[in-house]
């Protein structure tokens, strides 16, 4: 038994149109939005609360995995379409779909990053910090506590899969420190405990703009001025790291490229998991280097690669030829 996005979307959307028949198009879209949102949240919450073997059956897992995307996909269709056939685009329809995109982005982020999430992906392959990045962080920095230091405990360090997977001792240690870990969660060395769900499903406070980012932006900008304001940049780092209590022992007397590297390092630490690193590498044209455990890192052998800034079309997505040829909204000059 298998369901597809398309079949579920058609079925659910047709049902919504039938229930709301006779309403004006605007009311139909609003009604669809509320019903999909409530229904999708209810289903996800029930799946999260009821830890039943039934949810592990292949047919049920397939249906539940595809149903939520189908619900929100059909919701977006209802917001954009002015008719059941979807032949017309609603003027200003983007305003209606923006809340959907924001909700799904936040929920997906929480479900993927929160250490106590019941997501199968998180329980099987939790997010982990780069081992080399973690080891470079001073012992006096409290942010080391956001990740699992394996200490003297043993964990897997070879192979293509399960790199970093902890043994029974490391698992018991982590479960003792973080009792709200999901009972089915696998414990990995250097796994993240930075993000935590506070409610079902995937609900957690997530600040998209933080003052610490502003400190780091200003510090980096000061280094690029002519002449550079390095004293101001160093002071900003001290305020962010030392004066805030992140690392009471922090000091900085660096200048030139070494100071820029210092800012770069603390951007990776402070903003870890918040979606900045890839863009920082891209704008600086830095090379991404990933090492295996044997070479001092913690990447699986098939992911331990070097990615140069000129690779993959300079890390840029190219507009498909058909889109460029047939979309009149694209400026082709």
Which pLDDT tens digit goes with each residue over 125-172?
899 999 999 999 999 999 999 999 999 999 998 767 788 999 999 999
User: pLDDT band at residue 231, thresholds of 50, 70 and 90?
Assistant: very high
Q: Tell whether the model's pLDDT for residue 314 goes beyond 80.
A: yes
Residue 285 and residue 268: Cα distance in Å, rounded?
15
Q: What would the pLDDT profile of 81-112 be if each residue is shown by its tens digit?
A: 555 554 555 445 555 556 655 555 555 556 67
Q: Tell whether the model's pLDDT for residue 66 goes beyond 70.
A: no
Residue 46 confidence (pLDDT): 46
Which of 28, 34, 36 shows the shortest CA–CA distance to 9?
A: 36
Lookup result for tokens 């022992």: 249
Q: What would the pLDDT profile of 290-302 be if each residue is shown by its tens digit?
A: 999 989 999 988 8
User: What interhelical angle do 277-284 and 256-270 show, nearest 10?
Assistant: 160
Q: Tell whether the model's pLDDT for residue 23 goes beyond 90.
A: no
The DSSP letter of residue 87 is -
Give me the mean pLDDT over the 229-242 stretch: 98
Residue 57 and residue 64: Cα distance in Å, rounded?
11
Highest mean pLDDT among 25-29, 31-35, 320-324: 320-324
Share the mean pLDDT of the chain.
77
Residue 142 corresponds to which tokens in the numbers above?
């409290």
Using left for φ > 0, alpha for ψ between -120 and 50, and beta otherwise, residue 69 falls in alpha
């Amino acid at each position: 038994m298998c369901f597809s996005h398309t079949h579920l979307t058609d079925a659910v959307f047709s049902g919504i149109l039938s229930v709301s028949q006779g309403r004006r198009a605007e009311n139909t879209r609003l009604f669809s939005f509320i019903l999909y949102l409530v229904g999708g949240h209810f289903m996800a919450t029930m799946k999260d609360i009821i830890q039943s073997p039934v949810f592990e059956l292949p047919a049920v897992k397939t249906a539940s995995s595809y149903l939520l995307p189908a619900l929100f996909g059909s919701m977006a269709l209802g917001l954009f379409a002015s008719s059941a056939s979807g032949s017309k685009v609603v003027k200003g329809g983007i305003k209606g779909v923006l809340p959907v995109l924001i909700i799904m982005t936040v929920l997906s982020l929480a479900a993927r990053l929160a250490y106590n999430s019941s997501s199968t992906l998180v329980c099987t392959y939790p997010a982990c910090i780069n081992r080399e990045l973690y080891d470079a962080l001073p012992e006096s920095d409290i942010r080391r506590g956001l990740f699992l230091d394996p200490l003297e405990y043993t964990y897997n360090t070879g192979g293509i899969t399960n790199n970093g997977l902890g043994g029974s001792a490391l698992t018991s240690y982590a479960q003792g420190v973080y009792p709200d870990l999901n009972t089915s969660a696998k414990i990995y060395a250097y796994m993240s405990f930075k993000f935590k769900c506070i409610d079902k499903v995937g609900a957690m406070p997530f600040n998209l703009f933080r003052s610490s980012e502003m400190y780091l932006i200003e510090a980096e900008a000061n280094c690029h001025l002519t002449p550079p304001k390095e004293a101001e940049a160093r002071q900003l780092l001290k305020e962010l790291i030392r004066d805030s209590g992140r690392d009471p022992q922090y000091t900085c007397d660096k200048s030139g490229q070494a100071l820029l590297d210092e800012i770069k390092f603390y951007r990776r630490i402070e903003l870890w998991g918040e979606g900045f690193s890839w863009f920082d590498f891209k704008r600086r044209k830095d090379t991404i280097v990933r090492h295996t455990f044997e070479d001092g890192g913690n990447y699986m052998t098939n992911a331990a690669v070097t990615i140069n800034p000129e690779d993959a079309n300079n890390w840029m997505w190219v507009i498909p030829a058909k889109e460029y040829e047939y979309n009149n909204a694209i400026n082709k000059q």
